Amino acid sequence: MNSHSLLIGYLLWILGFMGAHRFYYGRPVTGTIYFFTLGLFFIGWIIDLLLIPGMQNSANENFVQGPYDYNLSWILLTFLGVFGVHRFYQQKWLSGLLYLLTGGVFLLGVIYDYWTLNEQLSQLNLHGA
The full DSSP string for 45-113 is HHHHHHHHHHHHHHHHHHS--SSS-HHHHHHHHHHHGGGTHHHHHTT-HHHHHHHHHHHHHHTHHHHHH
> How deeply is 59 buried, as exposed, middle or buried, from its count of CB atoms within 10 A (0-12, 13-18, 19+)?
buried
Task: Quote the pTM value.
Answer: 0.93
**In the chain, where are the structural domains located?**
6-62, 70-127
Mean pLDDT of 54-69: 96
82-123 pLDDT per residue, tens: 999 999 999 999 999 999 999 999 999 999 999 999 999 999
